Structure 1
């Protein structure tokens, strides 16, 4: 008789625990990344006796009630909510984000509320850092898993590679030009186009290509940087231009590409104004468009400049303003600014001279142009390797399309994350840089994960190591979304009613047992 009290009490305790689980689920219906728990009931045995009659078992079993033996987490996918915040992340599929605290302990979570802190680290609401792999400049994984850091600025990159891409086209119908190339005379070339390249300090420079049709299916290409001819370098020997030859179908004849017209370079030549009249005479007669004045000194004070001749006899500055003149027949340069009484004024000049009718074969995919130093020794010369292979020559309008790999310094504007977990930085210099790739962890048996609060999980033993893959492999990463709790509120209300009725029923068994015991005691009366 007394046992029934304990059986009923066990039922009360079990359903009270179930009510706690249900209450926890309902309380976390708005918790991002929360996974619902389910109570697992197990029965208690008060008596168990087995006898045999004629070889058949006869069982006598009296239960002792029930208890909640364990809980099971429901790791099913929750709904995704759009937040329009690019660093809010949701996993669409299996796995967990990996975050690390300042003590180096790694936790696992489905809650993707991240932001960048002042140092550029991607952190969650608890300040724990999101883990992944940093990427190199080519977008390849570099090094081991670590905290993801988004640089607040991007260092400049010098232009080293330039490639002409399809649909670049030279019109085969234009006139052949026999006059020597002169950048100051538009009748000596058919086309010109320019774009910006960068030196090692991130300074922009105007790179121009002049195209001169010299014969049937033959063109000469001249490159100028800030108005100064940049020669082709073939094993240390310099040439004025590249000669391109085309096949009858308009494709480039890759076996018939030459560096054309050998020249010599006078580098860092210094000339003084001994007559105090602002005239300076070069040691050699310069090639038109190749004179680059790098600096001058006025009364002993040095000034770094970027002046060049325009091929038409003018010396112009970075803004296109005329600051002097040059006589190509004598090599004499006049700078009115230095017409004074001081006879120590000097200019430092680079220029090409001694044009010789000589050519050298080049690989059209690896044409090296020898640049000049725009910062007078403070930067790497603007030398580039260029690819002309995709240029065509057909009877169609001129099209110019080229790509280069340099850029200026940039400041971080925003952060974006792709579906495959690549963290991208968007910078003020127009560059979008692949910075890192988020690491996603999963476990063969997710029940080894133990809740630690704050939407975090840890394996119940450090010997359980996760399977770690890059984002996008076992689940897609949705940027600008958060995974909501997967609690089904209607189901929890049904469970709540069931738990309440079960609790009442167990309480009623205790009341009934008490009444029966009272009747037993009344027999004595």
Structure 2
């Protein structure tokens, strides 16, 4: 009966381990990115009972069971909104890569925040790794070894000098000769200083003819004067003597020189911008017809929409992440810049990863080295969200009952074997 004791003992050990796995799963039911553990058993066998020459069926019996494997189940957990833009959730097979400066680990838990130095950190203080180089076109360069993602909260978005201005304006056809209409718009120089640009239209003696003049409160406007005429329907007919439908017509270029330095002593360069007056419209047949943002209808002289494409420097207002992991900075001047991207690692064998504290994993010989696939290997990143634990209470309670009954059954085997041995020992009486 001794083998019965050993078989039951292996069963007790295996199901006790199973209860540990279930208990750990239930303990992490609310752990972000946690993957439930699964346990598998395998049978232990005696090679042969008795002697035979192989011509008859083998005679064998089992010696119990053993724990064959305990591995995480990497199926997708539910994604829920967290309200924190720096929290990230993965949908797919990838992992975030983190480092403490010496070791590298991988995790599905994206509960990240920026520290006071602008470094993106995991909940236990490890640095989140990614790509920090941005090319001249504003695209993140996803190559090389991932490095800690860091931003400078104090670094502003650079200014841009105005290159185009546009006014949607109606000059009243009822204006008498010598009457004028004035308007102004703020433009920006290359140091980020706002400058006031003035535009005055004056009614000429000729029918439907006006002259215009640009001025500034600071500096000198060069090539800022000209004339416009309108047809009987109030549409622009000529610009500086050139017919609006002449293929050679171009919009005026306005130059401003002699702008004074700003309060910090930065002297701006000369401003040169395009007055977007004539609208060139491509037709389906390939021809181009011209229209204008300037009209000469009856009623009041008035302005509609203003437009200019310059802006001053801007402070960082908030951070958001795109689904490809790109980290975007939104600035107070209306600009949006890519500041970097989180790295998403993949493995040939995820089940070969070794679990460590803080819901992290380490690469092993079984998992293979991490690799970074194009388009993150199909993994999608959701900003402002977290992946929930994939533990299901119903499944765990079912497994709990199964392991409990397995443990009880094996303990019953021990009791029964003990009773039989007691009977055998009693035969001597």
Conservation of the 8 A alpha-carbon contact between 1:218 and 1:246 = yes
In structure 2, the CA distance between the partners of 1:408 and 1:511, relative to structure 1 (3 Å rule), is same
How high is the TM-score relative to the length of structure 2?
0.78
In structure 2, the CA distance between the partners of 1:492 and 1:248, relative to structure 1 (3 Å rule), is farther
Measured after TM superposition, the shift of residue 17 of structure 1 is 1.2
Question: Which of 230, 234, 255 is 1:369 aligned to?
Answer: 255
Which structure 2 residues correspond to residues 72-87 of structure 1 after superposition, within 5 A?
72-87=71-86
Match status 1:379 vs 2:267: yes
Matched residue, 2:185? 194
Conservation of the 8 A alpha-carbon contact between 1:44 and 1:67 = yes
In structure 2, the CA distance between the partners of 1:440 and 1:191, relative to structure 1 (3 Å rule), is farther
| Deviation readout 1:445-503 (Å, 9 max, x if unpaired) | 211322121111122149523234557x7344333322221111221111111101101
In structure 2, the CA distance between the partners of 1:29 and 1:217, relative to structure 1 (3 Å rule), is farther
Conservation of the 8 A alpha-carbon contact between 1:193 and 1:209 = yes
Match status 1:399 vs 2:304: yes
Matched residue, 1:148? 149
3-state DSSP class of the match of 1:149?
A: coil
In structure 2, the CA distance between the partners of 1:89 and 1:159, relative to structure 1 (3 Å rule), is same
Measured in 2, the distance between the counterparts of 1:153 and 1:211 equals: 44
How high is the TM-score relative to the length of structure 1?
0.65
In structure 2, the CA distance between the partners of 1:67 and 1:250, relative to structure 1 (3 Å rule), is farther
3-state DSSP class of the match of 2:344?
A: strand
Measured after TM superposition, the shift of residue 161 of structure 1 is 4.2
Match status 1:449 vs 2:353: yes
Conservation of the 8 A alpha-carbon contact between 1:133 and 1:438 = yes
Matched residue, 2:57? 58
Matched residue, 2:7? 7
Conservation of the 8 A alpha-carbon contact between 1:14 and 1:68 = yes
3-state DSSP class of the match of 1:32?
A: coil
Matched residue, 2:396? 492
3-state DSSP class of the match of 2:47?
A: strand
Contiguous gaps of at least 5 residues in structure 2 = 243-247, 280-291
Matched residue, 2:160? 159
Conservation of the 8 A alpha-carbon contact between 1:191 and 1:210 = yes
Measured after TM superposition, the shift of residue 114 of structure 1 is 1.3
| Deviation readout 1:165-220 (Å, 9 max, x if unpaired) | 6xx534376468986xxxxxxx34x45231242441x3332234445677889876
In structure 2, the CA distance between the partners of 1:434 and 1:178, relative to structure 1 (3 Å rule), is farther
Matched residue, 1:465? 370
Deviates more, 1:122-131 or 1:383-392: 383-392
Matched residue, 2:193? 203
Measured after TM superposition, the shift of residue 18 of structure 1 is 0.9
Question: Which of 216, 220, 224 is 1:240 aligned to?
Answer: 224
3-state DSSP class of the match of 2:425?
A: helix
Measured after TM superposition, the shift of residue 22 of structure 1 is 0.9
Measured in 1, the distance between the counterparts of 2:105 and 2:241 equals: 61
Conservation of the 8 A alpha-carbon contact between 1:112 and 1:482 = yes
Conservation of the 8 A alpha-carbon contact between 1:409 and 1:429 = yes
| Deviation readout 1:42-79 (Å, 9 max, x if unpaired) | 111123469689x7x51322111111111221122222
Matched residue, 2:120? 122
Which structure 2 residues correspond to residues 225-264 of structure 1 after superposition, within 5 A?
225-231=216-222, 239-241=223-225
Measured in 2, the distance between the counterparts of 1:240 and 1:375 equals: 22
**Greater strand fraction, Structure 1 or Structure 2:** 1
Measured after TM superposition, the shift of residue 227 of structure 1 is 4.9
| Deviation readout 1:388-431 (Å, 9 max, x if unpaired) | 26453457774333232431352x34333344433233444554
In structure 2, the CA distance between the partners of 1:224 and 1:213, relative to structure 1 (3 Å rule), is same
3-state DSSP class of the match of 2:397?
A: helix
Conservation of the 8 A alpha-carbon contact between 2:254 and 2:275 = no
Conservation of the 8 A alpha-carbon contact between 1:131 and 1:146 = yes
Aligned residues between the structures: 399
Measured in 2, the distance between the counterparts of 1:198 and 1:46 equals: 88
Conservation of the 8 A alpha-carbon contact between 1:374 and 1:381 = no
Measured in 2, the distance between the counterparts of 1:463 and 1:244 equals: 73
Matched residue, 2:20? 20
Conservation of the 8 A alpha-carbon contact between 2:140 and 2:339 = no
Measured in 1, the distance between the counterparts of 2:260 and 2:154 equals: 24
In structure 2, the CA distance between the partners of 1:203 and 1:45, relative to structure 1 (3 Å rule), is same
RMSD value over aligned CA atoms? 3.8
Measured in 1, the distance between the counterparts of 2:275 and 2:170 equals: 19
- The structure that has the greater radius of gyration is 1
Contiguous gaps of at least 5 residues in structure 1 = 180-186, 232-238, 261-360
Measured after TM superposition, the shift of residue 14 of structure 1 is 1.0
Conservation of the 8 A alpha-carbon contact between 1:441 and 1:469 = no
